[in-house]
Amino acid sequence: MTRRHFIAGSAGLALASTTAKAGYDGTWFDISLAQWSLNKAFWSGEKDKLRFAQIARDEFGITAIEYVNQFYQDGFSDKTVAELARVSREEGVRNVLIMCDREGRLGDPDAAARTKAVDNHVKWIEAARALGCHAIRVNAASEGAFDEQMQLAADGLRRLSEIGDTYGINVIVENHGGLSSNGAWLAAVMRTVDHPRCGTLPDFGNFVINRDTGEDYDAYLGTKQLMPFARGVSAKTFNFDADGNESGLDYPRLMEIVRAAGYRGHVGIEWEGDSLDEPAGIMATRKLLERMGGRV
């Protein structure tokens, strides 16, 4: 083979690889369903939390899911994990991640409390591995001055990421209130942690720093700042207009930021509005994401 033909052939292979990633039909990311989208139904007992994988597939045609640990904290055991694994396996549904809350502040100023928070998350790392998830989603909650919180959060996240590494599980942080909803701050935390297992989960609708004062952060700037570290993306929706667009967020702009960053993983539906019931909100979000290039 001549050098010219080798280069031409290599270029063709590179193009084929890019096309395969993007999908011949123009799709470029996978759609998953965050369990929080059905939080009312799960909290009330209307839907069975152990059948989440079956619900996602049968009711919404979605075969990738993101668990919320809050629904399983009471009475959590290996038996719970085994049942979730069985149902998802039989339904052919992929378990993507577990969203973890109420396990303490990973950036707590009190060293003992911070260590306890790290320890509290280990059982979810173990559950994530058993379920075949790639990550747990955590929070970077702390207290104190801007730089102080950065160092404290980085300490807890680094230690948890080192543990996650021994299980092959990523530790990813959502912008979830407080300074974590400041894109520049959370990006700086990622650089401080500097661990290959630590990343972000940008949530389009969670850039509110203080709900009491109404202080928020630019969602488009924040998404752009967090995407270089992203191991997941949360497609938060609240309201839709008559054309099926999210009325408060420019989804074409947001998804172009995601695409331009080179992200090709799962984008999770997280319906959180009141204008539609939960099933309708989920399906409206699915249709929106499909228009943006998503596939189920």
pLDDT at residue 126 is higher than 90? yes
The mean pLDDT of 218-226, rounded to a whole number, is 98
Give the pLDDT score at 22: 59
The per-residue pLDDT for 253 is 98
Report domain extents, the chain: 29-295
pLDDT of residue 25: 82
When pLDDT is cut at 50, 70 and 90, the band that residue 174 belongs to is: very high
Q: What is the DSSP string of 65-97?
A: EEEEGGGT-TT--HHHHHHHHHHHHHHT-EEEE
Query: Of the CATH numbers 1.25.40.20, 3.20.20.150, 3.40.190.80, 2.60.40.10, which one belongs to the domain with range 29-295?
Result: 3.20.20.150
Mean pLDDT over 250-256 rounds to 98
Length of the chain as a residue count = 296
Query: How sure is the predictor about 45, in pLDDT bands with cuts at 50, 70 and 90?
Result: very high
> In this structure, are residues 213 and 243 in contact, taking their beta carbons and an 8 Å threshold?
no
With a CB cutoff of 8 Å and minimum separation 6, the contacts of 27 are 293, 294, 295
Give kind and range of the element (H or E) at residue 269: strand 266-271
Statement: residue 150 has pLDDT above 50:
yes
Q: With cut-offs at 50, 70 and 90, classify the pLDDT of residue 1.
A: very low
Q: Which residues contact 268 (CB under 8 A, 6 or more apart)?
A: 31, 32, 33, 34, 66, 96, 232, 233, 234, 235
Encode burial over 194-216: b for 16+ CB neighbours within 10 A, e otherwise.
Answer: ebebbbbbbbbbbbbbeeeeeee
CA 49-51-57 angle, to 5 degrees, is: 125
Q: Is the pLDDT of residue 18 over 60?
A: no
- State the residue for tokens 């290959």: 196
